[in-house]
Amino acid sequence: MAISYQYDVLIIGSGAAGLTLALHLPPEIKIAILSKGDLKSGSTWLAQGGIAAVLDSSDSEIKHSQDTMIAGSWLSHEDAVDFTVRHGKESIDWLVDQGVPFTKTQGEHHLTKEGGHSHRRIIHAADATGKAVQRTLIEKAQAAANIDLFEHYTAVDLVTRTKLRLANNRCIGAYALNQQTGHVEVFNSRSVVLATGGASKSYLYTSNPDGSTGDGIAMAWRAGCRVANMEFNQFHPTCLYHPQAKSFLITEAVRGEGGKLLLPDGERFMHRFDEREELAPRDIVARAIDHEMKRLGADCLFLDISHKPAEFIREHFPTIHKRCLKLGIDITQEPIPVVPAAHYTCGGVMTNDQGRTDLPGLYAIGETAFTGLHGANRLASNSLLECLVYARSAAEHIKQDLFAPAERVNIPAWDESQVTDSDEDVIISHNWDELRRFMWDYVGIVRTNKRLQRAKHRVDLLLLEISEYYSNYKISKDLLELRNLAVVADLIIRSAMLRQESRGLNYTLDYPDEAPEALDTILTPVNFQWR
């Protein structure tokens, strides 16, 4: 017999956004939180930086807003920026009240300054802020009697009244795969919140965990919600290129201390892109590396600091030195192989200030959402702030919405009767590799019309093959992630085709100039009007 649950609020995703929202709801509200892995497996746990907010009397909200607009190449929405900045301090105060151990100096919270910020406004917990926030919020959620935590559950799809052929469309729950049993379970809920993170895994190289497969964005799109600015991903310029390195980042401080970027033949190239050479802003550096890799057909480029004394390198970059040494690379003697890595999805599901999507009963918060805060680039440390601010705002609206009359609908069990076990799982792994490879080659930082057309052709074929596979075989975590990743890749490609200019990080050789007006690329699904 199929397992079915009844909750007031279903939150898909257990990072900073999802946990914050849950903890802002009253104790009488019954909440379920689904985590695709364990509770520590998301991007929040790995976040090294801090959280940006106006916490110093010499700083101002106007300055923070201005810095955000400049960093986003004026594509950010001024109202969303102001909203986020205005609620920054109270969000930080709440984290302090929860017990997050932020770093202090002489009894005061220590604030740092990061790229793009005109003032010290980054509150942090050493260099592992995300871990400190996540650990504190998990403990609070585990202690709450009204919150049930489901680990190793992968959301399959949202359930709407329209899908059940009922009038007055609304999101009423979701199907989720219990990875332990292999069976799909039903979560019936008055409100559903997508807090599933971004879609960085659509690219070959990424700094994010394996779970960043755009699940929430893909599910919302299939349910009839619009998405915006999906073509913009923030890239870290230098990720270690090694088959065993996964997502190890080489800090930009290496360039700050004299590290030189080199082509495979040892030639320097940054002078051709910016007079500041290696000390140019990260977007310019990432774009230059990507351009040269594509021009040469190279697998990677190189970052060399071996001309510095060995003791200097070991003192300033002990972690990088040890990590590379384990992989057979001695950075005191040879250059580091590097590639740009997808770091943050700037676009997403369109929402308002309350986190509400186009579909009643469905909310999107955190990296899953397009709020307008991040334009063509993300200002450092604004992302965790966005999670907190919009989670708290969405919680307020959910509280009000729960008191409105609504018909309870029994969601039918997931039908597994017409499918069989696959003996061809190699298809999933092959398609996964192919998708990430052509997205990197054709839809990376530097783009052309021809590259985008090639990518669109390939993703169309891939979507057909996945659809056929999905229809005939029992679903698995890998298949669900591949399906979502392909949907999101298609959205990225389509958005990039609409962006006939170069803005922020992304550069289009066919349209090298910035358009006179910064406009969003908005995609509307065919079922948007099915209400």
Active site residues: 282
Round to whole Å and give the CA distance between 283 and 513. Answer: 16
Round to whole Å and give the CA distance between 91 and 88. Answer: 5
DSSP state of 531: -
Backbone angles phi, psi at 218, to 5 degrees: -65, -45
| Calculated CA dihedral for residues 210, 216, 219, 220, nearest 10 degrees | -160
Backbone angles phi, psi at 12, to 5 degrees: -100, 105
Round to whole Å and give the CA distance between 324 and 327. Answer: 5
Type of residue numbered 497 = M
Type of residue numbered 14 = S
Q: Quick one: which of 355, 357, 348 has its CA closest to 399? A: 355
Round to whole Å and give the CA distance between 192 and 268. Answer: 51
What residues have CB less than 8 Å from 184, skipping those under 6 apart?
Answer: 2, 156, 175, 176, 177, 178, 413, 414, 416, 475
Q: Which pair of structure tokens corresponds to residue 103?
A: 């770093």
> For the chain, what is the radius of gyration of the CA atoms?
23
Residue 404 Cα distances to 24, 191, 361, 397, 399, angstroms: 19, 12, 11, 11, 10
Q: Quick one: which of 173, 185, 67, 100 has its CA closest to 388? A: 100
User: How far separated are the first and last CA of the chain, in Å rounded?
Assistant: 32
Q: Quick one: which of 485, 385, 407, 496 has its CA closest to 92? A: 385
Contact 522, 219 (CB under 8 A): no
Type of residue numbered 305 = I
DSSP state of 162: T
